[in-house]
């Protein structure tokens, strides 16, 4: 089944925030933000700006009736800076004007003076100064100290990975319309409507029920709209509430990229110990997370880094410690993978460095240490239904690693300035919010008396196809045509207390809640049918919109059954509530069973480097992936291809650069490059690993959003493998992304 | 008053000629299928087609509406996604659905419009179809599904009749039938945006609308594109002459230029995206004075000359003397560049252009360089080498060229010349690379010129100390 939105998408008829027809009198907001990364506000003067015709009002911290606070996990981030600024792009005021052009002109007329304070942009510097957002955490298994003594090989190193801009093509935005009694309707391009509702209510000092958040769809999210859509909604809501006028606030791309957080850069130090059989005996790692100037979601992201410190390898002795370092950058935030890619990049780097040092193939160490059934993760969960080795072996069966290496070696002999390389990337990604309480969802289902069905859930559609999967779930439970089903907007007045659509869990949590609601309704319909037909309810089923009695049609069809049931005064609406069973985690011990299940798979990437120009192309990516029993292969394949390329982008061309003053230099699409159609691997072959799936996943179809992102990491190592083929003196680097610049310098390193 | 046709509707507007087409489409006309993604021509979400009358036909090109002033579309046909929608889905739209080539959908209308532009062009090759969407960024799909859709579209379009292709496209539902009425309707329109005194003169607008959109969008502008209905590229007296209003696409399509430098088309595919190439002018690239302007580098190596006019007074300036310092040019307040010309080099010359940027397509160079070289009996008779990204201005490398002249082509000579280049350049570290990188990269690209032009004499191993 194709994405249910695809027809409207190709016709340009899908509605995003900026396309909602505006009410008469709508005003436009523009954020006045800090131009320095750290300092005290000495003077702030709006007078001249307010004199510009068309400027309605300029709001700042003192206008906030409630709490000037955005922090969801830790209350450390004001909506508007009051006395101090902590990053370039921090909001200081909101200009509201009759149109955007007037607002932009007014922005030039605001006068502000700062007293500049020292700026830290680097996580190591923040670490040295002990500037942490919250205390460090440590995960332990076994005893690394003792284990290192018994290792044949000990390798230490440092690893860096860079920031990544989400670059959803639809920038952040909100449109807020006042309704009666001081209530607001908030249209927000957010992955977390409840979070928007809660923060808006807090800023205004009103009860949550006064704020209705409504989301049709997002033009891309990738985590960037999990927490950071909230300030826009809060600012627009503040203005709409105080002016009693509709207010729209859409970021210009330049504002969006400057003001919003990215994937966290990490610097890490590790020590890895192996025995002579290449078994990894012990692994110690310190992660320094660059959180930016406020907590945002950093505590949860840091936690997921710790959960994924060993990727899909079994290591009996582990000590992983993570520090969230406070710097003067925009607060970094959720991004597909949520701290796990950074952790996996470290363990893969450690393995690659070990292989280079020992003089064996990296794949040999990877394969030797793959996770097996009943192995223990460092956080205490026992691995079940492990698919590491099966996916590795199936990938090798598909196209043998040895043959590919021979092919590459032959190619390299035959070509002077083109060299190829390859790398493998096995993954294990835990599914569930690591904060156990967030693993809950609700769905509201109405069957209308004409037999059509309306569904509301807490899931946000952002292109990942969750609404399509939810349609399939309802169609399957009721056994009706998908055309009968309409997915409503995600709205906090219909479904309350939602968790953000994140952690790859949107389809699982909301789908399970929907399944529960649909099954309850189906039960009522079957009872109703048994009464109408005068037969036992155990003999009744519904198939393809027909009521069957002992598997035979009886002339009673869906529409008639629904209408008759309604006339019998039976409730045709139902709310389903689901919470993930089994999972738990004790933060005082850092042990538990945090994940409903893991997603496994292995990828192979083959790259070609142009050794004159220092450029590269990806020839091929082969993937064997554990989908479980995919309910929508089209969508799941699309998620793999999309996540893969984002992962490739992260480790190859996407380079976020700040100067020492904390000013973003890669501040536009002209200087921050994401993959285009010519950057794509020439071949992407995705194969299904035949597995049973798990009952913890929606209809046994495993979560898909994030895990394939990490396949992209193989591109980093494949490119270096090719560099080594040209320059045998080259020493592996562990500093992503591997830009063309790094490649060329590497090719001629030691010249 | 500016007149144009938007989809099937005649527009007559008093908006300033500098007003941005994208805003006109969304705000004035409330057509929301054209999306705002970046406002700097780098994402393609706002792509529209612009049709220009050419005899009895209309030629369509894709442009980014975020950088298009209304003045540049006076007398033209502008097509948004709404102007393509036609009840049933077009084969391009269907191919996207069937191949799951849309996820969040925000970039999708831009892709559909770009590919509809491809269907309206005479091109057939899959590579040309892919190039038509090179300026469209999708962050969701990873493009593989888009590639699959494109290849089906290309396959279907192979059946297109070359004779009456517009009717064929209408019949097969690629475009609505009103397209056939457009040529006659355009003939009746005023194609020149009203001029005023004291104007800023702009070309394609692809740089100025990135730098200062608000300023120019309220101004009355002069447009070199519609002062000069049919920009020409021709040969006169041993010189190739290019009208200043020529776009990069015009350069690519010129048979005259192709005959002189057969490789130029390929080189020009490294310049920006198809949408931008359809808009950007040669003169604009010079006046912008970027130290890494691709066209500056391409024409420097041809020792091009500018013909500058000021209300009838003309003067000639060599391009190499035009750049005075960082973003400083030899152009007075009321002067405009009218033409660019270069002497066609003697028979047997060779030309090459190299560019490396952070991303190969639709990106600004880290370093770019061009060479024009002629030999006589293995001896370098004449050579011009230009390089960008290594100095405050696009640079002609005089010293190394002087060194090479009269020398025999050999590995030693080329290596020595590359050392001389190092003394001529002063790269700085910036967003496009460190100075160390740019220096190494220029050496490599300089070597690549010779490897490309004289493959029997040179390879990278001989030229570098790696053996």
Structural domains in chain A, CATH included, are 25-118+172-250 (3.90.1170.50), 266-434+588-747 (3.30.365.10), 440-579 (3.30.365.10)
Question: How far apart are alpha carbons B300 and A171 in whole angstroms?
Answer: 40
What's the pLDDT band for B163 if we cut at 50, 70, 90? confident
Give the pLDDT mean for B352-361: 97
**Interface size between A and B, measured as CB pairs under 8 A:** 245
Q: Which residue of A has its CA nearest to B354?
A: A613
Q: Residue A441: what pLDDT?
A: 98
| Residues A142 and A264: beta-carbon distance below 8 Å | no
Q: A744 vs B40: CB contact, 8 Å cut-off?
A: no
Determine contact, residues A302/A289, Cβ cutoff 8 Å.
yes
Chain-centre distance of CA B460, in angstroms? Answer: 31
Chain A nearest CA to B149, separation (Å)? 12
Distance CA B451, CA B463 (A): 9
* Residue A492 confidence (pLDDT) above 50: yes
> Do B38 and A680 count as a contact with CB atoms less than 8 A apart?
no
CA distance, residue A672 to nearest chain B CA (Å): 9
A433 phi and psi angles, rounded to 5 deg: -65, 135
pLDDT at residue number B202? 84
Facing B448 at nearest CB: one of A218, A464, A613: A613
What CA–CA distance (Å, rounded) separates B362 from B207?
Answer: 14
Judged by a CB distance cut-off of 8 A, whether residue A416 touches chain B is yes
Q: A170–B104: do the CB atoms touch at under 8 Å?
A: yes
Q: Is the pLDDT of residue B219 over 90?
A: no
With CB atoms and an 8 Å threshold, state whether A675 touches B359. yes
Check B459 against A634: CB less than 8 A apart.
Answer: no
Tens-place pLDDT, residues A722-744: 999 999 999 999 999 999 999 99
How many angstroms separate the CA atoms of B26 and A255, rounded? 20
Residue of chain A whose Cα is closest to the Cα of B150: A677
- State yes or no: pLDDT of A557 exceeds 50: yes
A170 interfaces chain B, CB cutoff of 8 Å: yes
In chain B, the residue whose alpha carbon lies closest to the alpha carbon of A417 is: B460
Residue of A nearest to B442 (CA): A613
Question: Using an 8 Å Cβ cutoff, are A162 and A285 in contact?
Answer: no
Model confidence over B231-240: pLDDT tens digits? Answer: 899 999 999 9
The residue in chain B having the minimum alpha-carbon distance to the alpha carbon of residue A634 is B100
Residue from B255, B328, B318 nearest B288 by CA: B328
Residue A100 at interface with chain B, using a CB cutoff of 8 Å: no
> Looking at the complex, does the CB of residue A637 fall below 8 Å from at least one CB of chain B?
yes
pLDDT of residue B244: 86
Whole-number pLDDT of residue B198 = 58
Instruction: Output the pLDDT for position B116.
Output: 98
Q: Is A671 on the interface with B (CB under 8 A)?
A: yes
Pick the closest to residue A35 from A72, A87, A107, A78 (CA basis). A87
pLDDT in the model for residue A515: 98
A674-689 tens-digit pLDDT: 999 999 999 999 999 9
DSSP output for A94-160:
EEEESSHHHHHHHHHH-EEEEEE------HHHHHHTT-BSS--EEEEES-HHHHHHT-SEEEEEEEE
Closest alpha carbon to A518 in A439, A441, A446: A446
**C-beta of residue A215 within 8 angstroms of C-beta of residue A193:** yes
A619 flagged as catalytic: no
Q: Is the distance from CB of A641 to CB of B142 less than 8 angstroms?
A: yes
Question: Which residues, at least 6 apart from A325, have a Cβ–Cβ distance to it below 8 Å?
Answer: A123, A124, A126, A127, A131, A132, A133, A288, A289, A290, A291
Confirm or reject contact between A642 and chain B (CB < 8 A): yes
Per the listing, tokens 């491809």 go with B118
Pairing of strands B47-54, B57-64: antiparallel
Interface contact flag, A169 B444, Cβ < 8 Å: no
State the nearest Cα–Cα gap between B91 and chain A, in angstroms. 11
> Per-residue DSSP letters for A323-391?
EEEE-SSPPP---TTTTHHHHHHHHHHHHHHHHHHHTS-HHHHHHHTB--TTPBPTTSPBP-S--HHHH
For residues A723 and A747, the answer to whether their CB atoms sit within 8 Å is: yes
Q: A-chain residues within 8 Å CB-CB of B142? A: 638, 641-646, 675, 680, 684
Over residues B170-196, mean pLDDT = 89
Q: Can you tell me which residue has the tokens 């997915």?
A: A487
- pLDDT given for residue B467 in this prediction: 41
Question: What percent of chain A has pLDDT above 70?
Answer: 100
Question: N- to C-terminal Cα distance for chain B?
Answer: 68
Specify the pLDDT at position A85: 98
- Residues from chain A that touch B145, judged by Cβ atoms under 8 A, are 638, 641
Sheet containing strand B336-343, strands side by side: B233-236, B239-243, B336-343, B305-310, B313-318
Q: pLDDT, tens digit, for every residue of B370-411?
A: 999 999 988 999 999 999 999 999 999 999 999 999 999 999
> Could you give the CA distance from residue B177 to residue B8 in angstroms, rounded to a whole number?
10
What pLDDT does residue B193 have?
66
Yes or no, beta carbons of A417 and B444 under 8 Å apart: no
**Phi then psi dihedrals of residue B393, to 5 deg:** -130, 165
Whether residue A535 is predicted with pLDDT greater than 50 in this model: the reply is yes
Cis bond upstream, residue A737 (ω within 30): yes
Q: What is the CB neighbour count within 10 angstroms for residue A727?
A: 18
Kind of pairing between the strands at A317-326 and A84-85: unpaired
Strand duo B200-202 + B221-223: pairing: parallel
Range 61-90 of B in CB contact (< 8 A) with A: 80-82, 85, 89
Q: Which of residues 157-196 of B touch A (CB under 8 A)?
A: none
What are the pLDDT digits (tens) for A212-264? 999 999 999 999 999 999 999 999 999 999 999 999 999 999 999 999 999 99
**Nearest residue on chain A to B463, alpha-carbon basis:** A612
Give the residue from B104, B360, B361, B437 with the most A CB atoms within 10 Å of its CB, the best one to mutate. B104
Query: Which among B398, B388, B459 has a CA at the least distance from the CA of B428?
Result: B388
Q: Would the CB atoms of B144 and A674 count as touching at under 8 Å?
A: no
CA distances from B348 to A270, B361, B376, B380 (A): 60, 30, 9, 12
Q: Report DSSP state, residue B26.
A: I
Over chain B, what is the mean pLDDT?
Answer: 94
pLDDT at A386 over 50: yes
- What whole-number distance in Å separates Cα of residue A149 and Cα of residue B89? 69
Cβ-proximal residues to A413 (8 Å cutoff; 6+ apart), any chain: none
Which residues are CB-contacts of A499 (< 8 A; sequence separation ≥ 6)? Answer: A192, A194, A433, A438, A439, A440, A441, A458, A505, A509
Position B161 scores a pLDDT of 84
DSSP A67-81: -----SSSS---SS-
At A284-335, the pLDDT tens digits run 999 999 999 999 999 999 999 999 999 999 999 999 999 999 999 999 999 9
Locate tokens 């020439």: which residue?
A682
Coil, strand or helix at A317: strand
| Residue numbers in B near A168 (CB within 8 A) | 104, 106, 139
**pLDDT value for B311:** 82
Put simply, the answer to whether A12 touches B210 (Cβ < 8 Å) is: no
Question: 3-state SS of B415-464?
Answer: HHHHHHHHHHCCCCCECCECHHHHHHHHHHHHHHHHHHHCCCCCCHHHHC
pLDDT at B195: 60
Distance CA B102, CA B81 (A): 15
> Exactly one of A212, A303, A515, A706 is catalytic; which is it?
A706
> Chain B contacts of A677, Cβ < 8 Å?
130, 133-134, 136, 138, 143, 146-147
pLDDT at B368: 98
State whether residue B162 is helix, strand or coil. coil
Q: Rounded distance, CA A369 to CA A314, Å?
A: 6
B126 touches chain A (CB under 8 A): no
Are B362 and B272 in contact by the 8 Å Cβ rule? The answer is yes
Least Cα distance to A187 among A499, A492, A503 occurs for: A492
| Cα gap A508→B177, rounded to integer Å | 46
Among A16, A416, A678, the residue with its CB nearest the CB of B106 is: A16
Query: pLDDT digits over B40-85, tens only?
Result: 999 999 999 999 999 999 999 999 999 999 999 999 999 999 999 9
Cβ–Cβ of A3/B103 closer than 8 Å?
Answer: yes
- Is there a contact between B62 and B278 (Cβ–Cβ < 8 Å)? yes
Nearest CB among A2, A168, A614 relative to B100 is that of A2
Q: Is B61 helix (H, G, I), strand (E, B) or coil?
A: strand
How far is B35 from chain A, CA to nearest CA, in Å? Answer: 8
With CB atoms and an 8 Å threshold, state whether A744 touches B444: yes
A677–B136 CB contact, under 8 Å: yes
Considering only CB atoms, B36 lies closest to which of A18, A101, A740, namely A18
Contact by Cβ (8 Å): A685, A623: yes
Angle A271-A276-A282 from CA coordinates, rounded to 5°: 30
Cβ within 8 Å of residue B271, ≥6 positions away: B248, B277, B280, B294, B295
How far apart CA A664 and CA A656 sit, in angstroms, is 8
In the stretch 266-325 of chain B, residues with CB closer than 8 A to chain A read none
ipTM (interface pTM):
0.98
Closest CA to B293 of B385, B241, B355, B219: B355
Residue B228 pLDDT > 50 = no
Q: What are B412-446's pLDDT values in tens digits?
A: 999 999 999 999 999 999 999 999 999 999 999 99
The answer for B 98-117 residues in CB contact with A (under 8 A) is 98, 100, 102-109, 112
Tell if the CB–CB gap between B359 and A653 is shorter than 8 Å. Answer: yes
Whole-number average pLDDT of chain A: 98
B108 CB neighbours in chain A (<8 A) are 9-10, 12
Considering only alpha carbons, which residue of chain B is nearest residue A169?
A: B37
CB contact under 8 A, B103 and A671: no
Cβ count within 10 A of residue A191: 28
Q: CA quadruple B239, B244, B245, B251: dihedral positive or negative?
A: positive
């Amino acid at each position: 089944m194709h994405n249910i939105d695809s027809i409207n998408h190709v016709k340009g008829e899908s509605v995003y925030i900026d396309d909602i027809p505006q009410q008469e009198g709508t005003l436009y907001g523009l954020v006045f933000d800090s131009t320095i990364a750290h300092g005290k506000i000495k003077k702030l003067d709006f007078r001249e700006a307010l004199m510009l015709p068309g400027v309605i009002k300029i709001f700042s911290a003192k206008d906030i009736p409630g709490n000037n606070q955005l922090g969801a996990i830790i209350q450390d981030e004001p909506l508007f800076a009051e006395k101090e600024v902590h990053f370039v792009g921090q909001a200081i005021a909101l200009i509201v004007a009759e149109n955007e052009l007037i607002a932009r002109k007014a922005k030039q007329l605001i006068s502000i003076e700062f007293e500049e304070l020292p700026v830290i942009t680097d996580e190591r510097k923040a670490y040295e100064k002990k500037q942490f957002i919250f205390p460090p955490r440590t995960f332990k298994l076994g005893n690394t100290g003792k284990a290192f003594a018994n290792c044949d090989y000990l390798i230490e190193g440092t690893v860096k990975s860079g920031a990544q801009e989400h670059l959803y093509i639809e920038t952040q935005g909100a449109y807020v319309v006042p309704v009666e009694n001081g209530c607001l309707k908030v249209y927000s391009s957010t992955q977390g409507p409840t979070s928007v509702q809660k923060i808006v209510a807090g800023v205004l000092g009103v009860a949550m029920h006064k704020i209705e958040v409504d989301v049709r769809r997002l033009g891309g999210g990738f985590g960037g709209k999990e927490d950071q859509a909230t300030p826009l909604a809060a600012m627009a809501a503040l203005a709409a509430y105080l002016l009693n006028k509709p207010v729209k606030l859409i970021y210009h791309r330049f504002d969006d990229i400057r003001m919003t957080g990215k994937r966290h850069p990490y610097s890490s130090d590790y020590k890895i110990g192996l025995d002579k059989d290449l078994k990894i005996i012990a692994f110690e790692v310190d992660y320094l997370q660059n959180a930016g100037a406020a907590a945002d979601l950093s505590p949860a992201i840091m936690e997921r880094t710790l959960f994924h410190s060993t990727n899909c390898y079994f290591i009996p002795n582990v000590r992983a410690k993570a520090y969230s370092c406070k710097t003067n950058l925009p607060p970094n935030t959720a991004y597909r993978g949520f701290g796990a890619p950074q952790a996996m990049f470290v363990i893969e780097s450690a393995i690659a460095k070990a292989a280079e040092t020992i003089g064996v193939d990296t794949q040999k160490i990877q394969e030797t240490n793959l996770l097996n059934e009943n192995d223990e993760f460092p956080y205490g969960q026992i691995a079940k239904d492990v698919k590491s080795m099966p996916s590795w072996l199936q990938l090798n069966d598909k196209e043998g690693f040895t043959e590919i290496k021979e092919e590459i070696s032959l190619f390299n002999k035959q070509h002077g300035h083109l060299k190829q390389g390859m790398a493998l990337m096995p993954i294990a990604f835990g599914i569930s919010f690591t904060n156990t309480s967030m693993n809950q969802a609700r769905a509201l289902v109405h069957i209308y008396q004409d037999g059509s069905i309306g569904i509301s859930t807490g899931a946000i559609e952002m292109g990942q196809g969750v609404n399509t999967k939810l349609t399939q779930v309802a169609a399957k439970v009721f056994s009706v045509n998908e055309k009968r089903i309409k997915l409503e907007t995600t709205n906090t007045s219909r479904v309350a207390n939602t968790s953000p659509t994140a952690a790859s869990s949107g389809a699982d949590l909301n789908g399970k809640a929907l399944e529960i609601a649909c099954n309850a309704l189906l039960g009522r319909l079957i009872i109703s049918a048994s009464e109408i037909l005068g037969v036992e309810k155990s003999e009744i089923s519904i198939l393809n919109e027909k009521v069957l009695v002992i598997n035979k049609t009886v002339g009673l069809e869906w529409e008639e059954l629904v209408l008759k049931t309604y006339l019998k005064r039976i409730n045709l609406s139902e709310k389903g509530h689901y919470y993930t069973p089994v999972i738990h985690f004790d933060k005082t011990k850092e042990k538990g069973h945090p994940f409903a299940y893991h997603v496994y798979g292995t990828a192979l990437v083959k790259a070609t480097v142009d050794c004159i120009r220092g450029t590269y192309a990806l020839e091929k990516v082969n993937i064997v992936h554990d989908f479980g029993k995919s309910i929508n292969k089209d969508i799941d394949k699309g998620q793999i291809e999309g996540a893969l390329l984002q992962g490739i982008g992260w480790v190859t061309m996407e380079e976020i650069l700040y100067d020492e003053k904390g000013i973003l230099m890669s501040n536009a699409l002209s200087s921050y490059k994401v993959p285009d159609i010519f950057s794509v691997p020439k071949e992407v072959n995705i194969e299904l690993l035949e597995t049973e799936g798990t009952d913890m996943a929606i209809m046994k179809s495993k979560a898909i959003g994030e895990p394939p992102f990490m396949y992209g990491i193989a591109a980093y190592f494949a490119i270096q493998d090719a560099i080594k083929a040209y320059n045998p003196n080259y020493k592996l680097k562990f500093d992503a992304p591997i830009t063309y610049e790094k490649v060329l310098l590497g090719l001629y390193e030691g010249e | 008053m500016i007149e144009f046709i938007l989809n099937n509707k005649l527009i007559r507007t008093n908006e300033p000629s500098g007003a941005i087409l994208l805003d006109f489409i969304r705000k004035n006309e409330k057509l929301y299928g054209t999306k705002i993604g970046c406002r700097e021509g780098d994402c393609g979400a706002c792509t529209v087609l612009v049709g220009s009358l050419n005899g009895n036909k209309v030629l369509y090109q894709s442009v980014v509406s975020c950088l298009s002033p209304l003045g540049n579309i006076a007398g033209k046909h502008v097509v948004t996604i709404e102007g393509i929608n036609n009840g049933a889905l077009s084969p391009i739209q269907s191919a996207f659905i069937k191949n799951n080539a849309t996820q969040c959908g925000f970039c999708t209308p831009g892709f559909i419009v770009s590919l509809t532009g491809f269907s309206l062009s005479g091109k057939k090759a899959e590579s040309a179809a892919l190039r038509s969407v090179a300026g469209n960024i999708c962050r969701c799909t990873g493009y593989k599904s888009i590639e699959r859709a494109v290849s089906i579209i290309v396959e279907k379009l192979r059946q297109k009749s070359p004779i009456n292709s517009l009717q064929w496209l209408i019949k097969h539902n690629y475009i609505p039938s009103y397209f056939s009425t457009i040529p006659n309707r355009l003939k009746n329109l005023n194609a020149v945006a009203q001029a005023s005194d004291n104007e800023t003169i702009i070309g394609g607008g692809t740089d100025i609308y990135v730098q200062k959109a608000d300023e120019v969008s309220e101004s009355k502008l002069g447009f070199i594109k519609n002062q000069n209905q049919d920009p020409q590229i021709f040969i006169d007296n041993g010189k190739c002459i290019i009208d200043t209003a020529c776009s990069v696409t015009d350069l690519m399509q010129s048979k005259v230029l192709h005959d002189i430098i057969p490789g130029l088309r390929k080189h020009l595919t490294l310049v920006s995206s198809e949408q931008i190439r359809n808009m950007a002018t040669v003169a604009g690239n010079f006046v912008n004075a970027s130290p890494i302007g691709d066209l500056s580098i391409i024409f420097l190596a041809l020792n091009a000359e500018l013909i500058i006019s000021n209300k009838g007074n003309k003067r000639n300036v060599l391009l190499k003397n035009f750049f005075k310092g960082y973003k400083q040019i030899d152009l007075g307040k009321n002067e405009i560049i009218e033409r660019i010309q270069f002497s066609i080099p003697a028979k047997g010359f060779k030309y090459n252009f190299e560019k490396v940027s952070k991303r190969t397509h639709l990106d600004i160079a880290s370093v770019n360089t061009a060479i024009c070289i002629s030999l006589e009996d293995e001896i370098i008779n004449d050579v011009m080498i230009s390089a960008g990204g290594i100095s405050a201005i696009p640079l002609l490398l005089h010293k190394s060229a002087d060194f090479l002249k009269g020398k025999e082509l050999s590995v030693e000579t080329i290596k020595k010349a590359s050392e001389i280049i190092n003394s001529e350049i002063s790269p700085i570290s910036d967003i496009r690379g460190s100075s160390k990188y740019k220096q190494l990269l220029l050496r490599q690209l300089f070597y690549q010129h010779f490897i490309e032009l004289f493959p029997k004499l040179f390879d990278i191993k001989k030229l570098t100390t790696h053996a």
